[in-house]
Structure 1
Amino acid sequence: MTILAENITVEQLRDEVAALAGRCLCDPVTELFGPLLEAQERVFSRLENDPEPDHVRELYLLAALVSGMLAKAHHDLDREHQAMSLARMAYVCADNIGHPGLRAWSRGLQSLLAYSGGRPQEAAAFADCGSGIAAEQTGSVASWLACAQARALARLGHAEAARLALVRADDLREHHTHDDLDALGGIFLFAPARHHHYAADAYACLPDQRERAVHEATRSIALYAASPPEQRSFGDEAGARCVLALVRVRDGDVAAARDTLGPVLRLDLPRRTAEVMAGVARVADALRDSRFADVPEARALREQIEWFAQRPASALSS
């Protein structure tokens, strides 16, 4: 039986949104989409109809949070227009209550969407905007935005600017203290394992930084392997593996790349998100280099990737 929004307390809505924040980190999008839509409907219904002034700030906060999570779910299903619209909605709701941390987080989300969509210039601009908002924030969102800016700048070839952003990200990580978003956890906490993934991605694009990229990716994978299931982001773990495999291919070690990428290529269909598919595609592009034309291992890995790419998570919603 459907529970009407007016029969749910604000405290119950808060608990529901908090539980979804954790689930968004490790559950497949197919299991999340329905609950996220229901939560969005309940929160916005209460926001429109709740006469209690004391509830307005809390409801706008919940609206921003659930809009951000739903944006990420649409992104996982490769629905970029809907994802960016919801990310903007998250920003507006956060702005309505003057929540700089959540405003900054929303810009970080927009940066992620642009970066995964192959628009690093736009990703860098969103991350820069978010960093300005987060200048006085102590939570992990500040280091997330610096890392997001670093990898976008590195992809654009701005090596020195990317390096400086990585240094700033490390400094912010070292001195950060938990804020309300970190306390919420899930996708709202920029955990160390994810930090290492982003750093690896940036270093992989910088000249003469192969060893650092390998170190950062390996560290990310190890931290995820040691994490409890509820904190293990399959998307970012896959991303770190894709970066490491990319570096191995560039080094000419196709066998190591195959072993690194193996767990990614075994992900079930609901976990083959747009971000995962973009990471795997970068490895496939590197394998198309002419030096691998007559290498059987390279051809076999390309075929595995091509087979994997035929069935993304977005196929489930078509």
Structure 2
Amino acid sequence: MGDSDEIITARRALGRHLAHLRKTADLTQHGLAPLVRYARSSIASTETGLQYPDRMFWRRCDTALRTGGALVAEYDRIAELDLHRQRSQLDAGDTAATGGEALWEPEQHIAARRAALTAANEDARLTHLEDEIRQAITDNERLPPATLVGRLRPLRVGVDELMAARHHPPQRARLYTVAAHLSGLLAVLALDLRAFGVARAYAAEAFELADAAEQPDVRAWARATQSLIAYYSGDPRDALNYADDGLRHSGTSAHRIRLLVNGQARALACVGDRYGVDRAVDHAFALLAGQPAAEQVSTSLTLGPYCLARAAANAATAYLTIGRTAEVIDHLATPIAAFDAAQLRGPQALSRLDLATAHLHAGNLDHAADLAVEALTLAADCRFESVRQRARQFLGAARPFGRHPQLLYVTDLLNEYTPTSSAPRSGLRSPA
């Protein structure tokens, strides 16, 4: 089968998948149409492979059918296949026309010009970049990391072009803030793709850009991101140092909640400071009480304050590490429901794995194994590094139970989830 045939087949399969999910949700084509704001005929044509709508259509279908982003993820995978096919054709054409010398300019240069065409001035270009980065931060934890990296490459080119020009001070601050957020996001995506050295480099760049922007709030965000990278890279002391430094220089930043509960509390748990964990968690919840109630679940890289669900889930992880399993179970009731409603696959899996480990220590083996299976199934398409590490922690705690059939199944799922490259040392310890 040729590349174009493979793409056509994949698009038709996606249409059939939509039809299956619609019927499972007990919806007719007429019933789905108003929910996605497309005509019934468009849905019918899509399901039969006669039409292939854009990404917005699939995103609306995911929302209406509560699929957890499955349709958009498949749309993005097909888009990657199509992009690879186009590149292959261009490479073949280049070689034939020039005897090996490149005929076409790099695609990212064309993409950067397209972005520039959408803006009449630098302020508009900055607004475009800010909007794209906010959307990418929203999509992180929902889409495979490689998909988001592909979307961000053209943005990196656009930022570099802008940084090479002269700017008025307000524009310079905005530009360096955009660059800091972009590098921090790329750091987290590199972490999920297990490029640990690249992740640390991007995270360091994010802080340097935040420092150049002279924005305390951005510095706090960047330090929180460095703490996250260090935690999952197996360096809890560095994670603690970054969180502490972020808190020292954060002023009244809303990121203090993230620095306390995601940075300090979890790192202190790893080094065995139980009283420090309590202080950090209590301080985070005291700050949270002074924030307006969040209408939505905050993202892990939120540009605003952490919400209650996110803070409680991080507190549960810290308490799990120091062996206070009853508090883990108490803290996770609200986050799991919130993450499920928001269809955030990363947090859905992580919170279930923490709950599974807590139930394991309480002797509820079957329930614990079921939760672990559910977690790895939810995140199977994304393969987040954080989920891989947390699943290893669960299996480490399960060793005393021997070769229980359901635990063996969890092991098989984790083996499928884990890349073949050698694993770095984990950033997590088994609970005490």
Short-chain TM bin: 0.7 to 0.9
Q: CA separation in 2, counterparts of 1:50 and 1:89?
A: 21
On the 8 A contact 1:144/1:195 being kept in 2, the answer is yes
| Identity value in percent | 26
1:248 aligns with 2:362: no
1:225 is aligned with what amino acid?
Answer: D
Q: Are 1:249 and 1:257, in contact at CA under 8 Å, matched by a contact in 2? A: yes
Quick one: distance in 1 between partners of 2:332 and 2:298? 26
1:220/1:107 CA distance change after superposition, 3 Å: same
Deviation of 1:101 after TM superposition, in Å, equals 1.1
For the pair 1:160 / 2:275, whether they are aligned, the reply is: yes
> Which residue of the other structure, out of 349, 371, 375, is the alignment partner of 1:264?
375
1:20 deviates by: 2.1
Deviation at 1:53, TM superposition (A): 5.1
How far apart, CA to CA, are the structure 2 residues paired with 1:211 and 1:39? 45
Query: Which residue is 1:145 aligned to?
Result: 259
Following TM superposition, by how much is the alpha carbon of 1:24 offset from its aligned partner in structure 2, in angstroms? 2.3
- Residue segments in structure 1 that go unaligned for 5+ positions in a row: none
Question: What RMSD, in angstroms, separates the aligned Cα atoms of the two structures?
Answer: 2.6
Contact 2:130-2:178 at 8 Å conserved across structures: yes
- 1:246, 1:184 → 2: CA distance? 24
Distance in structure 1 (CA, Å) of the matches to 2:300 and 2:317 = 23
Pick the structure with greater CA Rg: 2
Letter in structure 2 aligned against 1:13? L
Greater RCO, CA 8 A, separation 6+:
1
Aligned to 1:302: 411
CA contact (8 A) 1:36 1:69 kept: no
Structure 1 residues 247 and 271, CA gap change in structure 2 (3 angstroms): same
AA aligned to 2:349 is A
Partner of 1:273: 384
Q: 1:273: how far off?
A: 1.3
Query: For 2:184 and 2:216, how far apart are their aligned partners in 1?
Result: 15
Q: How far apart are 1:310 and its partner, in Å?
A: 5.0
Secondary structure in 1 matching 2:250: helix
Q: Does the 8 Å CA contact 1:244/1:257 hold for their aligned counterparts?
A: yes
AA in 2 matched with 1:298: L
Select the residue among 1, 7, 12 that pairs with 2:128: 12
Q: Which residue of 2 aligns with 1:63?
A: 179
CA apart distance, 1:23:
2.0
More helix by share: 1
* Aligned counterpart, 2:345: 234
**Count of equivalent residues:** 301
Q: Equivalents in 1 of 2:420, 2:337: separation in Å? A: 28
Counterpart for residue 287 of structure 2? 172
Contact 1:71 1:82 in 2 (8 A): yes
Aligned to 2:28: none
Q: Residue 216 of structure 1 aligns to which amino acid in structure 2?
A: H
2:326 paired residue among 211, 214, 217 = 211
Residues 23 and 11 of structure 1, relative CA distance in 2, 3 Å threshold: same
Question: TM-score of the superposition, structure 2-length normalised?
Answer: 0.64
1: CA distance, partners of 2:169 / 2:408: 63
Shift in alpha-carbon separation, 1:104–1:96, aligned structure 2, 3 A: same
Contact 2:111 2:154 survives alignment (8 Å): no
Query: Structure 1: how far apart are the matches of 2:331 and 2:178?
Result: 34
User: After superposition, what is the alpha-carbon deviation per residue over 1:188-211, rounded to whole angstroms, capped at 9, x for unaligned?
Assistant: 34232221110100111234x221
In the TM superposition, what is the alpha-carbon distance from 1:16 to its structure 2 partner? 2.2
Residue 301 to residue 183, structure 1, CA distance change in 2 (3 Å): closer
| 1:106 maps onto 2:222 in alignment | yes
Shift of 1:304: 3.6
How many Å apart are 1:158 and its aligned residue? 0.7
Residue among 374, 396, 403 paired with 1:285:
396
Give the 3-state SS of the residue equivalent to 1:136 in structure 2.
Answer: coil
User: Separation in 2 of the partners of 1:268 and 1:236?
Assistant: 9
